[in-house]
Chains A and B, each alone.
Chain A
Amino acid sequence: MCLAIPGQVAELYQAGGVSMARVDFGGIAREACMVYLPEARVGEYVLVHAGFAITKMDEEEARQTLADLQALGELSAET
């Protein structure tokens, strides 16, 4: 139950006055409420929990983390 999964915003729309989105999780589409992420745009990745988008995924931070980890062994091997 308590899992938050990243998915890509495929479509934004209003339903009954509430901001909603169709979010694609690796080919499976689900509806998510977007009231807590009004700035999210189509194409961006968001973390969805209990049917609500709770945060945007930051691509630059993700790439930085992966780059830091790639460098990890190399730096340690030299010291």
Chain B
Amino acid sequence: MKYLDEFRNHALAQKLLAEIRRTATRPWVIMEVCGGQTHSIVKYGIDELLPHEIELVHGPGCPVCVTALESIDRAHALARRPDAIFCSFGDMLRVPGSDGDLFQIKAQGGDVRVVYSPLDCLKVARANPAKHVVFFAIGFETTAPANAMSVWQARAEGLANYSILVSHVTVPPAMTAILESPGNRVQAFLGAGHVCAVVGWEEYEPLAARYGVPIVVTGFEPVDLLEGILMAVRQLESGRHEVENQYARAVVREGNPEARRMIARVFEPCDRAWRGIGVIPGSGYRLRDEFAAFDAARIFDLNGIVSHEPEACISGLVLQGARRPLDCDAFGTRCTPETPLGATMVSAEGACAAYYNYGRRR
């Protein structure tokens, strides 16, 4: 058991497709929240294999895409400081801010470094005591335990030259915002398996009950996605709206208690602006006051930065599932992964980039 190839099995995928065709009698709209799932769906052509009754719409679950322009601009201001070393996950380097991206800042002499884990930043901080190391702490509940641990460990070591610029987002408030939006078409959700591996799915239960939507915690391989879709369609066809777990090999209801404990120790909920969507109440994490000494937004004066979107782009509507990448006039012409107008074309998990990279064209 390697937990990958077994779940890319062609015969099992065909069985699941046949069963979905047999089960679906009416049109249903299902949203996969997570950008990693969008990527798999488009890569394996799952959306094109499904019967026409089933429409998949792509959700806001790409952290690179939804990080607010204001946060990007603050990151850029920090990265330009001669006394700073700015560390980031690699995907963030090409995201356009109001004025260029992190690659350009690096080319102009900024000390911008790509890290694989936030713990790598602590090594950088220890090795460069005369510089201040800032980590761009973005992401959903999946990266929060890692980012929290970097602050926890920095405090334990007494590292005074490390801080994080926090722009964390959380999934359930975004699902609520989608369900509350007047034009909402989403009737069921595929929940992100790795998010639930960390925080569990208890928070989804009141959502499923209040809005009458099935939510299926789902993995990332094609067989996982097809089984998740089948479980959602079965619920929709029989009028049920429960939280079910397709990804049982990795996820339990309470998630990872150690990781949840660390998130709660270091972060607290806050309102958060999402790029292309706006402020969603209670949809972010910020550092608790006791970690103010590790909060880049409190250490450095980042006021007075004026943000402006470089060009109108429909990525906000794409992120909410209201429009599809191919609905955009700029897709594949003025907007490509090499020259992205909006964040959904930047990250590999952005819906526009997934469509472009796997050959979908207008």
Contacts and interface: CB of A to CB of B under 8 A. Distances in A.
A10 to B, nearest CB: 14
Interface stretch (B100-108, B203-211, B244-252, B284-292): B244-252
A58 B197 contact: no
Interface residues of A, number: 39
Contacts of A16: 157
B99 interface: no
B143 A65 contact: no
Given A2-B63, A33-B117, A35-B258, A54 B145 contact: yes
A28 interface: no
Contact of A70 (B12, B64, B193, B258): B12
A16 B90 CA distance: 26
Contact of B223 (A30, A35, A69): A69
A47 B118 contact: no
A73 B347 contact: no
Nearest to A8: B2
B12 A1 contact: no
B237 interface: no
Given A66-B12, A70-B12, A73-B18, A54 B142 contact: yes
Contacts of B89: 1, 50
Interface of A: 1-4, 6, 16-18, 26, 30-33, 35-38, 45, 47, 49-52, 54-55, 57-59, 61-66, 69-70, 72-73, 76
22 contacts: A1-B90, A1-B139, A2-B143, A2-B349, A4-B220, A16-B157, A18-B153, A26-B2, A36-B145, A36-B262, A49-B143, A50-B118, A50-B143, A54-B145, A54-B259, A55-B198, A55-B250, A62-B6, A65-B227, A65-B249, A69-B12, A76-B22
